[in-house]
Amino acid sequence: MSDQNAKLWGGRFQEPTDAFVERFTASVGFDRRLYRQDIAGSIAHATMLCKVGVLSQEERDAIVDGLAGIRDEIERGEFEWSVAREDVHMNIEARLTERIGATGKKLHTGRSRNDQVATDIRLWLRDEIDVLDAELLRLATGLLDQADVHADTIMPGFTHLQTAQPVTFGHHLLAYFEMLMRDRARLADCRGRVNVLPLGSAALAGTTFPLDRALTAELLGFDSVAENSLDAVSDRDFAIEFAAWASTTMIHLSRFSEELVLWSSAQFGFIELPDRFCTGSSIMPQKKNPDVPELVRGKTGRVVGHLNALLMLMKSQPLAYNKDNQEDKEPLFDLVDTLRDCLKAYADMVPAIVADKPAMRAAAVRGYATATDLADYLVRRNIAFRDAHEAVGQAVAHAVAANCDLAELPLATLQGFAPVIEADVYEVLTPEGSVAARSHFGGTAPEQVRAAVIRGRARLSNAADE
């Protein structure tokens, strides 16, 4: 049996809460993580209540003082969290009254836990978004630096995971830079909808007190005040949106992870991941496993799962607040923790990736990656593309049978497939010639990659970009 005196809502109850139900309904085990936002929100609320004449200056000061003392207790690890007090909000409020006496009971005037919790999570998420964006920026910078170093490093480009055309490694890395730039833009957009103040909506219908919600918003750094009290206490779109951002970002990291895992295998041998990002096998002495990319790839499932959890949490919920919403916190917390770790791992690891340039180039040469260049060469000599495609196809079949590369076929043999071929054909058959020829905005030519890196740096330093 629980101590019913601990309940701030105990007045209308005839029997104590069942001990199991008390544990089942409590959220303090996880929402205590919001203590700093809860206290900041309460200080702003009390300050506003004083400004509009609902609290006296002495009452406001006692409350603010008491709350600051509680924050210290929590940070020193001396605060006794109580399951009987259900959640972070009632733990802190009850402790305030213990500390400062009856004045503590006035703090909840014109407020409900419904608008309080919505305010706390939004404050918390807003600050976490800024931390996540800093990691995105660090990773994007690392990609630009590597792209610059590898602006003319040749590798095979793939479609269907079959060798397609030569590309530069820098160009390949810049593809991930573009994904990250979109992720940053989406996160900034999401932040705008997170940073809206629900407080003042009270339980659902607003309050009879003359609150100054604009003042509370200003004190807490919110961009705007929620327009509709019913919506404000029940809206979790901002959490869903954040989870969708997190999922999209993780999908990008999972694609990169998959490539790093493949590239670091003996079969590809394109890159070496630093030892400090890998682990060994307890049975196979030769193994060096790319655990970090593998784990990031795996955590993508968990992140997308949280998105689904939040969507289903909201499905068919009638207005306004429902206890279901208490279930928003654990997925949100885990999303933030997971994204922060994965982005940190990548931001630390990307600058340390070492490319094996000869192995990458050899792979580009092996797969007939310049066949399209030969076809384009024929087109420039007035052969229709379809006919050129056919002629080159036959040349490739011949080279496959001869177990050699196109560039290794003698001129006379090549001329057997298309008489217009001349000695200058060998320039387009090299991967260097192939990438250099794709020199237009967005192309893989080294000079284009260098230009894209310069534009990328300007985009990063311009905070208002995208």
Query: Do residues 273 and 336 touch, judged by C-beta distance below 8 A?
Result: no
Question: With left for phi above 0 and alpha for psi between -120 and 50, is residue 191 left, alpha or beta?
Answer: alpha
Please say which residue, 334 or 356, places its beta carbon nearer to ligand ARG: 334
Alpha-carbon 1 to chain mean position: 44
Least Å distance, CB 321 to ligand ARG, is 6
Distance of alpha carbon 336 from alpha carbon 330, whole angstroms: 10
Active-site residue identified among 172, 281, 316, 434: 281
Least Å distance, CB 443 to ligand ARG, is 52
Please say which residue, 27 or 247, places its beta carbon nearer to ligand ARG: 27
Q: Which residues contact 104 (CB under 8 A, 6 or more apart)?
A: 63, 66, 93, 96, 97, 98
Least Å distance, CB 11 to ligand ARG, is 15
**Residue 137, φ and ψ in degrees, nearest 5:** -65, -40
Q: Which residues contact 165 (CB under 8 A, 6 or more apart)?
A: 156, 157, 369, 370, 372, 373, 434
Active-site residue identified among 160, 282, 440, 461: 160
Omega before 359 cis (within 30°)?
no
Least Å distance, CB 124 to ligand ARG, is 12
Positions that interact with ligand ARG (CB under 6 A)? 27, 31, 87, 113-114, 117, 321, 323, 325-326
Least Å distance, CB 203 to ligand ARG, is 7
Please say which residue, 323 or 440, places its beta carbon nearer to ligand ARG: 323
What is the 3-state secondary structure of 52-74? CCCCCHHHHHHHHHHHHHHHHHH
Please say which residue, 115 or 356, places its beta carbon nearer to ligand ARG: 115
User: Is 281 part of the annotated catalytic residue set?
Assistant: yes
Please say which residue, 115 or 148, places its beta carbon nearer to ligand ARG: 115
Query: Do residues 227 and 258 touch, judged by C-beta distance below 8 A?
Result: no
Query: Do residues 224 and 198 touch, judged by C-beta distance below 8 A?
Result: no
Please say which residue, 113 or 126, places its beta carbon nearer to ligand ARG: 113
Distance of alpha carbon 372 from alpha carbon 416, whole angstroms: 18
Least Å distance, CB 22 to ligand ARG, is 13
Residue numbers annotated as active site: 160, 281
